[in-house]
């Protein structure tokens, strides 16, 4: 009779989930999508050679050391995964609320970027026919939309606004004084730009690409030495609300976790749960900040002895559950 194979014992194309938490803890963070999860054991030995003949045959081999380790790649750069792998400090919250800057005077440096201190900067340009008098600093209101804003620059046929609340609509009066001082928009644009003008009388508008360069996403502005910006020029802009958290890297001396792997119950082969009571986490190698493909946090975890566990159970536990 030929030997039978039990395919229920063959694990093939394994999938599953991994969780990490405090050593001896009972609550865990899911690590998310993984780029593989591998486990290995290395056993080192010392050999005693015979000195009675030239062949120096081994007469005794003694185990000297045993090590268990995991390696895995974290596909998800969640705040907890970054804190764990980058040896980070506590996770801090530093959200940016939506607001505006009006006629601030930056300390420009020729041909170098400086930080305006805000993310996602923009301005609003309204093009149309101006009736009466509108001036920088005037607060205006949309007659239909009830949107509001403050004029940061005014030229023939358009105004630029900051401190905008609501959404202006084409065809309405945008007025300082209704029916007297107003503009009727034929076009409304949200610009990835800031409004840079002379200090007084605010009649000279500096031009992006000629007088300055701008990274509106991160609020970096560079004064171009060949342009017209002078030290007293003012900058106005709106900025969006941004959720932001941060850590300080290399602030933790080491990271030790309880790590659990569970195979998906629909996998081929034996269903398993591996509980590593105590592992030391370390980032293994580089990951691209700029490059093609996914940035994977390649990680090693050395299995340590957890003395809080019963004797003989200090390292890890493997549970095996036959498929139903």
What is the rounded average pLDDT of the residues 174-182? 97
Tally the residues of the chain: 324
Enumerate the β-bridge partners of residue 239.
99, 121
Q: What is the pTM of this model?
A: 0.87
Binning the chain into helix, strand and coil, the percentages to the nearest 5 are 5, 50, 45
CA diameter of the chain: 114
At 159, is the secondary structure helix, strand, or coil? strand
In the chain, what percentage of residues exceed pLDDT 90? Answer: 91
Span 80-91, pLDDT tens digits:
999 999 999 999
Q: Are 131 and 119 in contact (CB under 8 A)?
A: no
- Residue pointed to by tokens 């014992």: 9
Q: Are 186 and 170 contacting, i.e. CB atoms less than 8 angstroms apart? A: yes
State how far the alpha carbon of 278 is from the alpha carbons of 22, 100, 113, in Å. Answer: 9, 49, 46
At 20, give phi and psi (nearest 5°): -135, 140
| Structural element, H or E, at residue 79 | helix 79-85
Task: Say if strands 174-177 and 181-191 run parallel, antiparallel, or are unpaired.
Answer: antiparallel
Q: Name the strand (E) or helix (H) holding 246.
A: strand 245-246
How far from 172 is each of 127, 137, 141, 176, CA to CA, in Å? Answer: 12, 21, 10, 13
Q: What angle do CA 184, 188, 191 make, to 5 degrees?
A: 145
The angle subtended at Cα 117 by Cα 114 and Cα 123, nearest 5°, is: 95
Q: According to DSSP H, which parts of the chain are helical?
A: 79-85
C-alpha dihedral sign at 176, 180, 181, 183: positive
The answer for residues whose C-beta is within 8 angstroms of residue 2's C-beta and 6 or more apart is none
User: 222 CB contacts (<8 Å, ≥6 apart)?
Assistant: 111, 112, 113, 114, 212, 213, 214
Whether residue 107 contacts residue 257, with contact meaning beta carbons closer than 8 Å, is answered with no
pLDDT tier, 149 (very low <50, low <70, confident <90, very high otherwise):
very high
Mean pLDDT within 226-253: 96
Q: Give the residue range(s) of CATH 2.40.30 domains in the chain.
A: 7-90+249-321
Consecutive H or E run containing 256: strand 255-263
User: What are the tens digits of pLDDT across the range 254-299?
Assistant: 899 999 999 999 998 899 999 999 999 999 889 999 999 999 999 9
pLDDT-based confidence at 323, cuts 50/70/90?
Answer: confident
* Residue 58, beta-bridge partner list: 49
What's the topology of domain 7-90+249-321? Elongation Factor Tu (Ef-tu); domain 3 (2.40.30)
Least confident of 6-15, 65-74, 145-154: 6-15
Measured distance CA(276)–CA(318) in Å, rounded:
9
d(CA 204, CA 154): 10
CA torsion, ordered 185, 187, 191, 194, to nearest 10 deg: -40
**Across 106-126, average pLDDT:** 98
Computed on alpha carbons and rounded to an integer, the radius of gyration of the chain in Å comes to 32
């Amino acid at each position: 009779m030929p030997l039978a194979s039990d395919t229920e014992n063959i694990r093939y194309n394994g999938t599953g989930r991994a969780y990490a938490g405090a050593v001896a803890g009972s609550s865990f963070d899911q690590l998310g999508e993984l780029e593989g999860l591998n486990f290995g054991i290395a056993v080192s030995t010392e050999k005693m050679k015979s000195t009675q003949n030239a062949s120096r045959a081994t007469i005794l081999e003694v185990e000297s050391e045993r090590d268990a380790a995991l390696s895995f790649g974290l596909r998800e750069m969640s705040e907890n995964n970054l804190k764990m792998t980058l040896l980070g400090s506590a996770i801090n919250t530093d959200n940016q609320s939506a607001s505006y800057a009006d006629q601030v005077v930056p300390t420009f440096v020729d041909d170098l970027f400086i930080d305006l201190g805000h993310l996602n900067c923009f301005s609003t340009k309204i093009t149309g026919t101006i009736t009466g008098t509108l001036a920088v600093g005037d607060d205006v209101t949309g007659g239909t939309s009830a949107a509001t804003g403050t004029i940061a620059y005014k030229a023939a046929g358009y105004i630029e606004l900051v401190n905008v609340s609501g959404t202006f609509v084409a065809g309405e009066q945008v007025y300082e004084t209704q029916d007297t001082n107003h503009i009727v928009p034929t076009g409304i644009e949200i610009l990835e730009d800031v409004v840079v003008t002379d200090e007084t009388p605010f009649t000279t508008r500096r031009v992006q690409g000629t007088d300055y360069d701008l990274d509106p996403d991160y609020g970096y502005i560079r004064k171009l030495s060949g342009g017209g910006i002078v030290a007293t020029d003012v900058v106005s802009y709106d900025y969006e609300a941004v959720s932001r958290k941060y850590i300080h890297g290399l602030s933790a001396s080491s990271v030790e976790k309880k790590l659990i792997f569970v195979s998906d119950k629909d996998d081929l082969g034996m269903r398993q749960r591996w509980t590593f009571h105590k592992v030391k986490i370390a980032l293994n190698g580089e990951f691209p900040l700029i490059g093609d493909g996914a940035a994977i946090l390649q990680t090693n975890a050395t299995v340590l002895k957890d003395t809080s566990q019963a004797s003989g159970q200090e390292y890890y536990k493997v549970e095996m559950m036959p498929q139903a």
